[in-house]
Amino acid sequence: MSKHLLKTINLTIFIFLLTKNLISSDIPVGQLVDFTGPTSSVGRPFGQGHIDVIKWINKNGGINNKKIRLETVDYSYKAPRAVATYKRWKSRLKVITVIGWGTADTEALMETIARDKIPFFSGSYAGQLTDPTGKAPNSFKAAPYNFFYGPSYSDACRGLVTWALKDWKNKEKSEKPKFVHMGDNHPYPNAPKQACQEYAEELGFEVLSVINYTLAPGDFTAQCLTLKQIQANYAYLANSSNSTTALLKACNTVGAEVQFMTNVWGVDETVIKASGKAADGIVFAVRTNSVWGEDNEGMELIKNISSMSGKKDQYRSVHYISAVCSMFYIVEAMKIAMAEGELNGENIRNAMYKNENWIPEGLKDVCLPSTWKSDDHRGLMEVPIYMVKVNGKTDKKGVDQLMKEKTIKLVKEDQITLPRRPEWRGY
């Protein structure tokens, strides 16, 4: 064997071992996103928020000098693809944490991640994910490794009907208010349906039959005519923003006079721009204590993080901001786990229980104080409620400009604090 060949082989081995060592010292994390599927309009800013935080963390020294090695997979909101991706990650990437997305795939993986002891921080806020014990009266099953930042879909809806009752009383109406759930027959829109209907009934609403409409945009004239015919006062939109614009425009055209309320994914700044005046007055649940542009300590950090994928001052949606909060909880849990022992899934899970009224460092006034317990994964019971105000035409300018000029405004209406009722856990 020639000396040259021997040197080449030795160099190759050295590089291989070095690379292997570097990779092994990184923190492997998988991210499921919907950038091209039916929930992509909200999936893109949410997914980008996580990505930008990781870039920011890695740029600023990582987690105790370890960098997060992120693999992002666009699964297009197809649950079987998400399950297959997770299996590959577990066997090859050796992930210790997963950033998830949809309800159907999160629920499909619930038992698997519990067995594997892999914390799963989702973009689904289904109440079914909030009971780590599986022992609450209406629990779906135990979810000991499922986490999310923000109120559950059920609690967000409960917060909205609480607001609706206050609104109804302010209007000095004597008759019972009428409430209707609207959404696709799909795990995500269905997640809060029964729980919220029961609470609306408890508060004194007349609960009307569900009106179904698809997650994909379509002609929803028939649904709007039904809404008009049944004379609903408050309609909860359980779909994501992709179908909201079509529904709002159709209902505006037929003159359906109803107070629309939506979950955290039901409306955002792009929907408002596309819907124009049809979006005026809609109220929706938000996961943070402030939205873009508010002057506080946490917003300055978010602007710096925003520069990882754009301009520091470009407008970022409510979904982007909530993703930043979510990712910082994950990062801080990793730091706690590393300080107390081995960085693995079980220790990251246990780290989530260490703090009460927890706000990530640097994000004061943005992230809501959260507390996760080993028997209760409802991080918070606060439901910030914002109302959309549209003060002119929205079709000729971008969201950035419309928000700067206050043609579109997000106005905080209320912040509902729900009771932490034990029978609501996991439901």
pLDDT for position 140 = 84
Tell me the whole-structure pTM to 2 decimals.
Answer: 0.91
Contact 315, 292 (CB under 8 A): yes
149 vs 322: CA distance, rounded Å: 8
pLDDT of residue 3: 55
> pLDDT at position 19, please?
41
Q: pLDDT at position 70, please?
A: 98
Angle between helices 40-59 and 318-340 (to 10 degrees): 40
Check: CB of residue 290 under 8 Å from CB of residue 266.
no
pLDDT of 25: 82
- CATH fold of 153-290+381-424 reads Rossmann fold (3.40.50)
Q: What would the 3-class secondary structure string for 189-232 be?
A: HHCCHHHHHHHHHHHCCEECCCEECCCCCCCCHHHHHHHHHHCC
What is the three-state SS of the chain?
CCHHHHHHHHHHHHHHHHHHHHHHHCEEEEEEECCCCCCHHHHHHHHHHHHHHHHHHHHCCCECCECEEEEEEECCCCHHHHHHHHHHHHHHHCCCEEECCCHHHHHHCHHHHHHHCCCEECCCCCHHHCCCCCCCCCCCCCCCCEECCCCCHHHHHHHHHHHHHHHHHHCCCCCCCEEEEEECCCHHHHCCHHHHHHHHHHHCCEECCCEECCCCCCCCHHHHHHHHHHCCCEEEECCCHHHHHHHHHHHHHHCCCCEEEECCCCCCHHHHHHHHHHHCCCEEECCECCCCCCCCHHHHHHHHHHCCCCCCCCCCCHHHHHHHHHHHHHHHHHHHHHHHCCCCHHHHHHHCCCCCCECCCCCCCCECCECCECCECCCCCEEEEEEEEECCCCCCCCHHHHHHCCCEEEEEEEEEECCCCHHHCCC
Q: What is the pLDDT, as a whole number, of residue 2?
A: 57
Domain ranges of the chain: 153-290+381-424
Q: Are 236 and 179 within 8 A, CB to CB?
A: yes
List the chain pLDDT tens, one digit each, 427 residues: 555 544 544 544 444 444 444 445 899 999 999 999 999 999 999 999 999 999 999 999 999 999 999 999 999 999 999 999 999 999 999 999 999 999 999 999 999 999 999 999 999 999 999 999 999 999 989 999 999 999 999 999 999 999 999 999 999 988 999 999 999 999 999 999 999 999 999 999 999 999 999 999 999 999 999 999 999 999 999 999 989 999 999 999 999 999 999 999 999 999 999 999 999 999 999 999 999 989 898 999 999 999 999 888 889 999 999 999 999 999 999 999 999 989 999 999 999 999 999 999 999 999 999 999 999 999 999 999 999 999 999 999 999 999 999 999 999 999 999 999 999 999 9
Strand partners, 259: 234
**What radius of gyration do the chain's Cα atoms show?**
23
Cα dist from 242 to 43, 256, 327, whole Å: 11, 20, 24
Residues 292, 293, 295: CA angle, nearest 5 degrees: 120
> Are 321 and 301 a contacting pair, CB within 8 Å?
no
